[in-house]
Amino acid sequence: MTGWRPTLARSVVLRRDRFRRTDLLVLPERVVVLSGRAADVLRLCDGHRQVGEIVDELTERFPGAPVADEVPRFLNRVREEGWLR
């Protein structure tokens, strides 16, 4: 995963549903409701930041959270789903 600069797949859109006050991943023929801080992580996946930079940013925002372990695992799962490239 070193050097990977994650970004949302072309067919995936991150949206905020203001009515329901939740974040969504909008995919072809499917919508995924995000929970916890998933949207915070995915918003940093801009294709410019490497995974380590995303981890550093989130460690700064959420001191004491297990970011170094959980974020790379989360990103890998999302990539396996085909939602990140």
pLDDT at 32: 97
Residues 21-47 have pLDDT tens digits of 999 999 999 999 999 999 999 999 999
| pTM of the predicted protein model | 0.92
Rounded CA-CA distance 42/29 in Å is 20
pLDDT at 24: 98
Amino acid at 85: R
Phi, psi at 43, each rounded to 5°:
-65, -25
pLDDT at 2: 62
pLDDT at 1: 58
Residues 40-76 have pLDDT tens digits of 999 999 999 999 999 999 999 999 999 999 999 999 9
- SS3 track for the chain: CCCCCCEECCCCEEEEECCCCEEEEEECCEEEECCCCHHHHHHCCECCCCHHHHHHHHHHHCCCCCHHHHHHHHHHHHHHHCCEC
